[in-house]
Amino acid sequence: MPLNLTNSYSALGPAFSQQSLPTPVAKPSLLLWNQDLANELSIDFSAEKDSAAIAQYFSGNKLFSGSEPIAQAYSGHQFGHFNPQLGDGRAHLLGDLSDKQGQYWDVQLKGSGTSFFSRQGDGRCALGPALREYIMSEAMFALGVPTTRCLAVVATGEAVYREQALPGAVVTRIATSHIRVGTFQYFSARNDIDSLKKLTSYAIERHFPQLKGVEGEALSGEQIVDFFAAVIAKQVTLVVSWLRVGFIHGVMNTDNTAISGETIDYGPCAMMNHYHSDTVFSSIDRNARYAFGNQSKIMHWNMARLADCLLPLIDEDEDIASAKLAPLLQQFTDDFKQGYFIMMANKLGIAELEDTDHELINDFLGIMAEKKLDYSQSFVTLAENLSQEEVNKVITQVKSPAKGQSAQASADEAGQAQDKWQQWLKRWYIRISADVSGAKDLMAKTNPLVIPRNHHVEAILATSQASYQKNGDLSDLNNFLAVLQQPYTQLDDTHNYQDAPSDGDENYHTFCGT
């Protein structure tokens, strides 16, 4: 047996989940197997030797030793509107396993059939959304963004009926846990304080063991406050990472906000091409609630909803409890702003952020928005054209500053009649002139050469589904994945996926995929 699962979440009790077996599928066949991830998890399977067994286990037709599948309960604010009962309507948590470092991971099947929470859905997933989740999550992992990951995609041999009949698939998702803000909301809405305490203790044990208290003693109010601070720190890192690579989640509901700080749910997500903070592609986000530039504000809002749930665990007096969490919510805003500008400075090759860099960064973003420049290509092009010789040449063209006048001010004056871009370039060159080589190296580490661009993802999905149905061929998809898995390295095929869409993704829309 390649792995032996434990069931730490289901052990919390029936209030937290429903026992639910995956629905068997007719003819499972393995499409994608993440061997690197399997090795990290010490799963003794290989696609070459064990494809039939992998297909059986990761379709849900067979269960691993120790597995007690469940559908987890949770609530959630969906586009600002609270739904008190959501839950896993098409997913089954098979259990958890530990890796060589002792880190525990959830093993979850998605598209594996109905459960108590299905709400009249069929519990299935079409092949396209399954392949999209694999592509996007593995691309994000390679980009250095905190994320859930995909271990396998298995075709079911059955049709899924949406607007038309589509081939079905089951995705295996790996996460440090599937605890969401909505999980806390589920018990808060029911005023189930005992379960809230149990959930928080479990979350601390799983994600923040440094906050554990004495064995057997109840969590103190201060531990809950520290837990909230730790969750906030994870979310700040997450959103800053999204903005670094131009990722737009598209459905930042509280049930899609994992307290682990991992990206979860790749349904209507997309990548930004030409820069604009209002960019949104999700067809269900009609009011642009989750637009690119709103993501930090929404995450702050989601954290405020988590704070609402934790208040009764901190102090019986809600005002006292609120007073302890309010500064942390403010700290979220401050920490995000600082983290964001440090990240953007790094994208420009600036290792140590200074106050004046805020203006330099914002001006560059303004130029990109005005000229409709591609977000990823702009930083890559800056780095590719950066050289000590070019910097020296431009700086020498700036007339010597008058007494008491900075070189920066002189550059601004000299460029008043020039294009905004040329003015900005001179300012940037002056800023990084002390270490041009270091700036170039930092930019290469911070700015990916390739991202999973929307038009390439859609093209690969279309060709892969067609070729799979015709002859089982996924070579185009595998070539794409090979490039996405090394986004900071120029490979022979990298250039095939770097181009911006010819129409600027003007009419591009993403969908939930359910």
Residue 65 is given by DSSP the state: B
- Residue 172 backbone phi and psi in degrees, to 5: -100, 115
- Rounded-to-integer distance, Cα 35 and Cα 322, Å: 47
- DSSP code string of 348-374: TT-SS--TTHHHHHHHHHHHHHHHT-B
- Rounded-to-integer distance, Cα 252 and Cα 180, Å: 11
- Rounded-to-integer distance, Cα 23 and Cα 90, Å: 10
- Rounded-to-integer distance, Cα 28 and Cα 59, Å: 6
Question: Are the C-beta atoms of residues 363 and 424 closer than 8 Å to each other?
Answer: yes
CA dihedral 224, 225, 228, 233 (to 10 degrees): -140
CA distances from 101 to 40, 41, 105, 460, 464 (A): 10, 10, 11, 36, 36
Which of 71, 323, 311 has the alpha carbon at shortest distance from 197?
A: 311
How many CB atoms are closer than 10 A to CB 56? 18
Catalytic residue among 88, 96, 106, 255: 255
As beta bridge partners, residue 169 has 125, 155
Question: Are the C-beta atoms of residues 26 and 156 closer than 8 Å to each other?
Answer: yes
Identify the three-state secondary structure at position 223: helix
Residue 192, Cα to own-chain centre: how many angstroms? 30
Is residue 50 annotated as a catalytic residue, yes or no?
Answer: no
Which of 455, 456, 443 has the alpha carbon at shortest distance from 380?
A: 443
Question: Are the C-beta atoms of residues 31 and 155 closer than 8 Å to each other?
Answer: yes
Looking up tokens 């032996």 gives 4
Question: Are the C-beta atoms of residues 86 and 255 closer than 8 Å to each other?
Answer: yes
The single-letter code of the amino acid at 475 is: S
H-only helix segments in 4-126: 35-40, 47-57
How many CB atoms are closer than 10 A to CB 104? 15
> How many residues are listed for the chain in this entry?
514
- Rounded-to-integer distance, Cα 47 and Cα 31, Å: 9
Task: Give, for 25, the enclosing helix (H) or strand (E).
Answer: none
- Rounded-to-integer distance, Cα 361 and Cα 341, Å: 8
Give me the active site residues, please: 255
